[in-house]
């Protein structure tokens, strides 16, 4: 059960309710957002039903936790959420966000060169990994804090916001210091401690769908972040695991309109990881725009042949430029812009 | 075909295999690496498929190198195939085909009404099922030949070609008499006798991807039809089975550009069956057009609530009309037309 | 809705009910089993609710078709069904059936040699394919009727019943003439016309689970056969399709106790096809026995290296003999015998 | 590593690749077949993984030949590894380990009562969760350190070693202080930082297979732990995600003999989580023993109806006792003991 307070609820009103909840033998989880305070009540819902809480002063609404996710649901908030990244840059509005960059940060010159090219090519946000989740311990694991510093330097030089992955609860503060957007990778979608940790920052979070996560589970994981008070969550479809072998994963584009039905949060698509073949990135990007994505995560590398990771799915800057041009036409055809 | 030996394979084991390969009239290229020996077998792989080598002592694994399909492959024919349906109506050209109609033919008035509306709305081909593969023996199984006659009457009246499913080798001639296009349903994608039977007609065939078929297997099933002499095959992506529960199946739109890479055959998309929710049909149709589909199979029903099958995924004629309008814009944006 | 008549219901009572059902505008599907007559009523269930049928003379019970399968359900019949194959040979009793033989019948001497060996080794039923569903049109498709004749000859010589696959509605009578048990392969699990056709014979049917079929769908397909009056159905788990790549399919042994909960029909396991590696056949066979299977389908070949299909998963006769010995111990440990 | 060229690859393209391979210090073996050219690359595959070759012009596909894991492989160590837990208690030997206890530690009296009963019933190791990965933030998250203290107290009282999950890199030292075995849950199988962290302890680690992890990926994750110097790893099959809906997950028992082929590490099975229904736990446990498991993880609760998590899959102590008795017979039948 979720108790949502009115915007102007007083501290006293909130504390009164928490006391009452505890007296009933239930646990209260308070999350103070920028706009309002929300209290999650944990324990048998029957008890609460016998002791109505929505009549208490300051309370806006009481929502049963029958549907498993609450704060992320379209019921909870009718309008689309728009996540502000920086002045003039947001995700979830009419304008579709292009987030581009290499899979891994490899050197200052590499990230500098790519940043310049993708900004010129139309990207609004720079991506690049410093901590890389690799299935083998013997492959390149990312440059760590050195990479984050390179990313920050380039971000300042080109005045472009950045997104990068965080994999460890211990690194959240560190990564947050250097980047605008924290990314939770598919393998960590159900790393609940990490979700809570990023929920305690105010940073925008890109939450990627797990390799075998249902849409409902993705929304539940987002709920972890919102329940800690951070409502700046961007969901990301990046392909699910199936029996198909030609593509690395199966990009589930039906997740885009499905999430739009179920949640107010913006949703973006990462076609590069999903298909693992750069020749499929362009058609799938167009498809994503056509079915309503709020953004695209695109891997771009000046020299994919020499890339330290995922070379086979990275676009060349010139392909990227062409693609953005084509995407503009598709966006226009569905009433959006890039 | 590549044969990888175990680390501890003996010289004798390796020599035995090489002898066997040579006896089959094939060439063997041995390379002794630091860790193990690998033998490349050169020559038609079909011969090796008949004589399994992975059961021989010392062999770790056998890896085929060539695709097992031939006539359907892009290597066999570089240019896109265009399938003629009737004078002026074809699938695979610049113009995207809209194939619309009800899931099942229910009565002459029903199919007559819908045919008129979808033709007006922009459809070039009428679809409707007379033989219905239903998972329960206790649900409506289709009108059979009566339904085919209704379909033919309406086809003549509106001068619109038709597509309908055939489920039984014994019915191929019957169905071919009444319709322009024969459809093989997902459940029959590997009903090889049925594939051979329709391969002996000259009719255009829509071959739907099985619920858990890989793209390679879909192409292999098409190969059955082509190998009988019928090259008029249209492949159809209609959703695959995954763990996701919000949608009925997961529409694999990456199959569209993937098939275009691998084969010269046209490919169409059926978003209605894939998602099972009419609210998702419009965004997924736009996505399909954006990523290169040659056609769409859309379920349209004047009264979905009363439909004898699959009501929840069928569009109303007015929704269909709006959708075709939107699809025209997307098609234009990617250099196609409807 | 299913109407089950009492064992001693008269023809008149049955006909009266059918008339009444038709007068209500509903369709009646009559199936006269050996023990009793069952009528399936097709149409809106509300109508029947307003006109109770369970008060009519001769009617034992009326079961709503809310649960989608009926005749196969454990609710419909509490005791395990035992399917008689021949005098002294049955499937579903305390004794676990061993069904063994080659993937394909290749020649009379081949099937003769294997039949002798597997009978000696403890098999009660001989299997071997004459019609082979192969994903490529260019591979061995089976010997057809010639193969069936060889199977029959060997069956007579060794006095051993046989099982073989039927793939085409047109071949059901032919195959039924030569064999004791008809097998429906995984790819045809939802070939509903074929199910109806074998439902009209009185032969025992082995129905294999489709590659991506749920347990519920397997039971629904069995329902097609039972609803035609043939209650001699043996279900077969043979692996489902997942993302795992080391095994060809994933053998779902939980299907065995699950089916036992839901249905009265016997269930057998085919580990050979599921894993595709003969080294896994022995441990999985023991596991199948331990969790309650009523039988095993095992591929045995005197010379797997020369087999025309699926060589890598076929056991040698001596491995088969050893395995049966080990299975006897496991069977005894769980209160069964072989 | 094998590089397959496209049919129309040019001589220059092929020569370019060969030069590049040689520059990396690797050997290239060229074989020009009738249809296409294939190049075998000999030398450490890791080098090639860092320098993707499939993006080069003319290349059709790149096929790795060697397994990417080393220390966990059967080739690295032929004999089965036996992991010592305490004096006289080990996993991987002839004796099958029974690890039992509640899903969650709920109170001192609860864990005390269950510990006594399962020890009496034949369990050698006590399990119980203090940190619980739950898909909803609003459900019971475990007692944390309080729970660990309860577990330790009971461990001392009954002289029984314990296993409990660790979810956060920051908690590894804490959890290691209180328990004998650290467990990595399915959702954290690819939480690589957590794997490295437990790899730096010397504690035995139970590593559960991820919901959609292949066997290869499970072995790669184990490799992370071994590569940090901790060889005390026990792999655990706990069900994978498929389309089947009757069971919560699909227990992949073929993983047991498959892992035994590929690795020297012991493997245990958790049937409780996999099927989510206690009625299936007994048959699947017997199956696991029959196919070679080195241990079982069984959920036991004195009062499943009141359990704070996963009540429907927990066994009552009396069911547990009966089951252990039955498992002893099956173990004996396959030459093991409990």
Q: Is the pLDDT of residue C308 over 70?
A: no
Residues of D in contact with C243 (CB under 8 A): 212, 214, 240
Dihedral, B219, B225, B231, B233 alpha carbons, nearest 10 = -60
In the prediction, which pLDDT does B47 show?
64
**Alpha-carbon distance D168 to C273, whole Å?**
41
Q: How far is CA A131 from the centre of its chain?
A: 17
Average pLDDT over residues A240-250: 93
Residues of A in contact with C241 (CB under 8 A): 243
- Of residues B301 and A85, more confidence is placed in A85
Average pLDDT over residues C21-40: 76
What secondary structure does DSSP assign to C255-324, as a single string?
A: HHHHHHHHBSS-EEE-HHHHH--HHHHHHHHHHHHHTT-SEEEEEB-S-GGG-SS-GGGPBPHHHHHHHH
Summarised one tens digit per residue, pLDDT across range B19-61 is: 888 888 777 777 777 677 878 777 666 566 556 677 778 888 7
Residues of D in contact with C244 (CB under 8 A): 214-215, 240, 252, 255
In the prediction, which pLDDT does A42 show?
65
Residues of D in contact with C286 (CB under 8 A): 290-291, 334
Chain A residue with the nearest C-alpha to that of C245: A243
**Alpha-carbon distance A73 to C251, whole Å?**
38
Query: What's the complex ipTM?
Result: 0.89
Tokens 């995560």: give the residue: A297
In the prediction, which pLDDT does D45 show?
62
Residues 6+ apart with CB under 8 A from C162: C125, C126, C127, C128, C151, C152, C154, C155, C178, C179, C180, C181
Chain D residue with the nearest C-alpha to that of A196: D137
**C232 Cα to chain D: minimum distance (Å):** 24
In the prediction, which pLDDT does A34 show?
64
In the prediction, which pLDDT does D28 show?
79
- Of residues B94 and A50, more confidence is placed in B94
For residue C191, give the nearest of B69, B191, B220 by CB distance: B191
Mean pLDDT of chain A: 90
- The pair of structure tokens assigned to C165 is 């696959």
Average pLDDT over residues B89-100: 97
Domain boundaries, chain C: 2-63, 83-333
Residue A42 to residue D139, Cβ atoms within 8 A: yes
Tokens 């971000």: give the residue: A155
Chain D residue with the nearest C-alpha to that of B28: D31
* Dihedrals phi, psi of A278, to nearest 5 degrees: -65, -25
**Alpha-carbon distance D304 to D291, whole Å?**
29
**A242 Cα to chain C: minimum distance (Å):** 5
- Of residues B101 and B278, more confidence is placed in B101
Q: Does B334 touch chain D (CB under 8 A)?
A: no
Burial class (CB in 10 A: 0-12, 13-18, 19+), C303: middle
**Alpha-carbon distance B109 to B115, whole Å?**
10
Residue A241 to residue D54, Cβ atoms within 8 A: no
**Chains sharing 3 or more CB pairs under 8 A with chain D:** A, B, C
Residues 6+ apart with CB under 8 A from C304: B52, B55, C278, C311, C312, C314, C315, C316
**Alpha-carbon distance A207 to A188, whole Å?**
9
Pairing outcome for strands C59-63 and C83-86:
unpaired
Q: Does A192 touch chain D (CB under 8 A)?
A: yes
In the prediction, which pLDDT does D69 show?
86
Mean pLDDT of chain D: 90
**Alpha-carbon distance D235 to D231, whole Å?**
12
CA distances from C26 to B137, B263, C225 (A): 15, 48, 21
**Alpha-carbon distance B147 to B128, whole Å?**
9
Q: Does A157 touch chain D (CB under 8 A)?
A: no
In DSSP terms, which residues pair with A100 in a beta bridge?
A126, A298
Residues of C in contact with A241 (CB under 8 A): 243
- The pair of structure tokens assigned to B218 is 């879909």
Average pLDDT over residues A120-129: 96
Using DSSP's 3-state secondary structure scheme, residue D299 falls into strand
Chain B residue with the nearest C-alpha to that of A283: B291
Residue C220 to residue B135, Cβ atoms within 8 A: yes
In the prediction, which pLDDT does A231 show?
93
CA distances from A106 to A110, A148, A297, D51 (A): 6, 11, 19, 13
Chain C residue with the nearest C-alpha to that of D244: C214
Residues of B in contact with A290 (CB under 8 A): 283, 286-287, 289-291, 330
Q: How would residue D44 be classed by pLDDT, with cut points 50, 70 and 90?
A: low
Domain A83-333, architecture per CATH: Alpha-Beta Barrel (3.20)
For residue B286, give the nearest of A243, A274, A290 by CB distance: A290
Using DSSP's 3-state secondary structure scheme, residue A275 falls into helix
C56, C13 in Cβ contact below 8 A? yes
Which residues 239-298 of C have a C-beta within 8 angstroms of B?
Answer: 241, 278
Chain A residue with the nearest C-alpha to that of C248: A243
Average pLDDT over residues C32-60: 73
Q: Taking chain B, what is the end-to-end CA distance rounded to the nearest angstrom?
A: 44
Nearest to A320 by CA among A331, A310, A328: A328
Which strands, in side-by-side order, build the sheet including A2-5? A27-32, A37-42, A2-5, A59-63
A314, A308 in Cβ contact below 8 A? no
Residues of A in contact with C242 (CB under 8 A): 243
Instruction: Please tell me the number of Cα atoms within 13 Å of D163 on its side-chain side.
Output: 31
How many residues are there in chain A?
338
Q: Does C211 touch chain D (CB under 8 A)?
A: no
- The pair of structure tokens assigned to A127 is 């991506």
Q: Does B33 touch chain D (CB under 8 A)?
A: yes
Burial class (CB in 10 A: 0-12, 13-18, 19+), A316: middle
Which residues 167-186 of C have a C-beta within 8 angstroms of B?
Answer: 167-170
**Alpha-carbon distance B145 to D119, whole Å?**
69
In the prediction, which pLDDT does D273 show?
83
Chain B residue with the nearest C-alpha to that of D27: B33
Nearest to C253 by CA among C215, C207, C304: C215
Q: Does A227 touch chain D (CB under 8 A)?
A: yes
In this structure, how many other beta carbons lie within 10 angstroms of the beta carbon of residue C121?
A: 21
Residues 6+ apart with CB under 8 A from C15: none
In this structure, how many other beta carbons lie within 10 angstroms of the beta carbon of residue A49?
A: 12
Residue A330 to residue B274, Cβ atoms within 8 A: no
Residue A241 to residue C243, Cβ atoms within 8 A: yes
**D93 Cα to chain C: minimum distance (Å):** 18
Largest CA distance in chain D: 76
Q: Is the pLDDT of residue D131 over 70?
A: yes
* Helix axes of B192-199 and B215-227: crossing angle, nearest 10 degrees: 40
Average pLDDT over residues C35-43: 74
How many residues are there in chain D?
338
Average pLDDT over residues B106-111: 93
Q: How would residue A8 be classed by pLDDT, with cut points 50, 70 and 90?
A: confident
Least reliable range by pLDDT among A213-222, B15-24, B70-79, D166-175: B15-24
- For C2-63, give the CATH class: alpha beta
For residue D291, give the nearest of C252, C284, C332 by CB distance: C284
Residue B7 to residue D66, Cβ atoms within 8 A: no
Q: What angle do CA D6, D12, D18 make, to 5 degrees?
A: 80
Dihedral, A15, A18, A24, A29 alpha carbons, nearest 10 = -170
Summarised one tens digit per residue, pLDDT across range B124-161 is: 999 999 998 888 887 778 899 999 999 999 999 999 99
**C249 Cα to chain D: minimum distance (Å):** 10
**Alpha-carbon distance A60 to A38, whole Å?**
10
Percent of the residues in chain C that have a pLDDT greater than 70, as a whole number:
92
Residues of A in contact with B283 (CB under 8 A): 256-257, 290-292
Dihedral, B242, B243, B244, B246 alpha carbons, nearest 10 = 110
Burial D247-267 (b: 16+ CB within 10 A, else e): bbbbbbbbbbbbbbebbbbbb
For residue D133, give the nearest of A140, A187, A190 by CB distance: A190
Q: Is the pLDDT of residue D309 over 80?
A: no
**D240 Cα to chain A: minimum distance (Å):** 10
Q: Does A61 touch chain C (CB under 8 A)?
A: no
Q: Does B73 touch chain C (CB under 8 A)?
A: no
Nearest to C120 by CA among C331, C329, C320, C330: C320
- The pair of structure tokens assigned to A243 is 């029996």
Residues of C in contact with D214 (CB under 8 A): 243-246
C205, C225 in Cβ contact below 8 A? yes
User: B-D interface: how many C-beta pairs under 8 angstroms?
Assistant: 46
Nearest to A267 by CA among A256, A258, A275: A256
Nearest to D192 by CA among A249, A132, A145, C244: A132
Burial B95-120 (b: 16+ CB within 10 A, else e): bbbbbbbbbbbbebebbebbbbbbbe
Q: Is the pLDDT of residue C143 over 60?
A: yes
Which 8-state DSSP code applies to residue A287? H
In the prediction, which pLDDT does C99 show?
98
Nearest to D268 by CA among D73, D98, D89: D98
Its pTM stands at 0.89
Q: Is the pLDDT of residue C320 over 70?
A: yes
Q: Where are the alpha helices (DSSP H) in A228-335?
A: 255-262, 271-275, 278-290, 317-333
**Alpha-carbon distance B157 to B119, whole Å?**
12
Least reliable range by pLDDT among A34-38, A248-252, C286-290, D36-40: A34-38
Residues of B in contact with D34 (CB under 8 A): 42-43
**A46 Cα to chain D: minimum distance (Å):** 15
**Alpha-carbon distance C48 to A128, whole Å?**
65
**Alpha-carbon distance A238 to A299, whole Å?**
12
**Chains sharing 3 or more CB pairs under 8 A with chain B:** A, C, D
For residue B29, give the nearest of D31, D241, D243 by CB distance: D31
Nearest to B223 by CA among B257, B189, B270, B173: B189
A89, A162 in Cβ contact below 8 A? no
Residue A330 to residue B290, Cβ atoms within 8 A: yes
Q: What angle do CA B281, D245, C258 make, to 5 degrees?
A: 155
Summarised one tens digit per residue, pLDDT across range A316-338 is: 898 999 999 999 999 999 999 99
Which residues 95-124 of C have a C-beta within 8 angstroms of B?
Answer: none
Average pLDDT over residues B59-78: 82
Residue C134 to residue B49, Cβ atoms within 8 A: no
Average pLDDT over residues A261-284: 91
Q: Is the pLDDT of residue A65 over 60?
A: no
């Amino acid at each position: 059960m979720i108790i949502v307070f009115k915007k102007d609820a007083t501290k006293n009103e909130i504390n009164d309710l928490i006391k009452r909840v505890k007296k009933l033998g239930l646990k209260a989880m308070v999350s103070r957002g920028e706009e309002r305070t929300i209290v999650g009540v944990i324990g048998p819902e029957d008890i609460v039903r016998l002791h109505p809480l929505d009549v208490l002063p300051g309370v806006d609404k009481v929502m049963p936790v029958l549907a498993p996710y609450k704060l992320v649901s379209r019921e909870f908030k009718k309008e689309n959420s728009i996540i502000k990244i920086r002045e003039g840059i947001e995700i979830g509005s009419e304008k579709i966000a292009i987030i581009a960059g290499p899979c891994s940060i490899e050197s200052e010159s590499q990230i500098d060169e790519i940043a310049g090219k993708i900004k010129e090519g139309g990207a609004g946000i720079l991506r690049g990994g410093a901590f890389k989740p690799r299935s083998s311990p013997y492959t390149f694991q990312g440059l760590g804090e050195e990479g984050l510093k390179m990313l920050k330097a380039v971000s300042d030089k080109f005045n472009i916001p950045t997104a990068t992955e965080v994999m460890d609860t211990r690194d959240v503060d560190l990564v947050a210091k250097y980047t605008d957007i924290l990314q939770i990778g598919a393998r960590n979608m159900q790393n609940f401690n990490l979700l809570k940790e990023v929920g305690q920052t105010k940073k925008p979070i890109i939450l990627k769908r797990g390799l075998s996560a249902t849409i409902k589970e993705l929304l539940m994981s987002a709920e972890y972040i919102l329940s800690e008070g951070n409502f700046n969550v961007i969901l990301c479809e990046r392909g699910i695991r199936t029996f198909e072998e030609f593509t690395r994963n199966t990009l589930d584009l039906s997740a885009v309109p499905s999430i739009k039905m179920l949640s107010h949060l913006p949703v973006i698509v990462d076609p590069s990881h999903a298909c693992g073949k750069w020749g499929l990135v362009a058609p799938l990007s167009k498809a994503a725009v056509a079915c309503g994505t709020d953004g695209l995560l695109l891997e771009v590398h000046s020299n994919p042949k020499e890339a330290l990771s995922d070379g086979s799915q990275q676009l060349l800057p010139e392909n990227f430029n062409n693609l953005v041009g084509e995407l503009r036409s598709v966006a226009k055809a569905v009433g959006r812009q890039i």
